Amino acid sequence: MVPSELSEAYPVDILEDDPEGHQAATQVYYESLREGAQASAEVFSLPTGEQVRLQTSSLHFCSMYRDEPQHKLLVLVNPQDTKTVVAVYLKESWWFTEDILRTSDPTRDGLRKVQSFGERIVLFVLNTIIFGRLERNLDDDDMFFLPHPAKEQAKILWRGGAAVGFYSIKRKGSLCGDGTSACYLLPVFDTVFVRRKNRCQGLGTAMLRDFCDTFPEDEALGISCPISPAMYRVLRQFLLTCPGERGRLWEVEPPGAWGQRANIWLKVYLQEARLQDGSAVHPECSEEGTDTPRQTSRGDGPTQFDHGESRKECITGGQETQNDQECVKREEDSGMSLRPPWDETEGRGAKRTVAVAGLVGSGIRCLKKCPGKPNSLWEPLLQVNCWQIQDSGSSLVKSNKASTPQEDAMHGTV
């Protein structure tokens, strides 16, 4: 029942796109164990040498998708620590969770769009088991992490024959949730995760770059609110390297109307102004000790973890990125290099006209509060994001002329 250690194929390479067939075979296996549970001598050997008896008390059904709870995976948990999933039942065999993340296909490298049933399972394991159970602190014993919807657009990051991270997108025009008819008004970078052993290698900024490159014609792109302090550090590093994206990235709440957006680059520089003032607080929160690049959307429904007939509600939770500045500085040194910092991206960005809600007032208030701040703080913001009020002030057109903070305050430019 356990695949050979010498096997060259892994589930993502051999699973057919037949979720219904997989579900039926899994149910038959579970029923056979339940009927003969007392006489079962089947065991599963852990890497530590410990053996776990395959009996129903150590088995759980986990819903793969938050919006399609009928599709489930059968997982084996450690009897000594029921929060730790040690194996998943696939293709009539038990597979270590780490083996599910592996591939023997050399072409599966870099960021790859999730398409097959096997890739959906890899996404689930990374998101719900690796991040949700193993690589974050569970402050509440009753909290689990919500899986993605069945048709969520996502990309898995493959490196060295293994899945090491992912990010997901809320597509423009997709529903904001099951209980609403509202649809997203722009593409939104929704969730992101990089495994601990692969952090400080520039993967977070590489995924942001890929997201921006995926939507080259969109004038505005969203990042799901709230954004953690650590994720802000990754965004800051990305926008310093790719200034042409500064006018495109917005922190958004669904569905992403202008009144629900805040320019991320502006918030970064307002935060730096507060740092110079000695009264800095993160734009949204002040949590510390974050540990992985993650921006989490609020779940729109419960996910079921079944043990027999019992069920638990899964609640959204999550933290984010590297917890020190050195990690962020090393982002640009990875093998997945960022785009050139100015040429083609700034040429594109300079032609954009963006309607900015609430942007001018924030900038003026900060300038009035800190009238003596040196121009060096504001020049990078002003040179790239010089928005000038036209007509009523609701639409701001980018200016090619850099100006001083005093002139900006006078003319309503940030």
Map out the domains of the chain as residue ranges.
Answer: 11-345, 355-411
In whole numbers, what is the pLDDT of the chain averaged over residues? 73
pLDDT, tens digit (0-9, with 9 covering 90-100), for 382-402:
444 433 323 333 333 333 333
| β-pair type (395-398, 387-390) | antiparallel
Query: Does residue 239 contact residue 210 with C-beta atoms inside 8 Å?
Result: no
| Residue in 365, 412, 410 with CA at minimum distance from that of residue 392 | 412
What Rg value do the Cα atoms of the chain yield, rounded? 24
pLDDT: which is higher, 386 or 197: 197
Confidence at residue 30, expressed as pLDDT on a 0 to 100 scale: 92
Work out whether the CA dihedral 130, 134, 136, 138 comes out positive or negative. Answer: positive
pLDDT, tens digit (0-9, with 9 covering 90-100), for 324-348:
455 544 544 444 433 333 334 444 4
pTM, to two decimals? 0.71
Confidence at residue 39, expressed as pLDDT on a 0 to 100 scale: 52
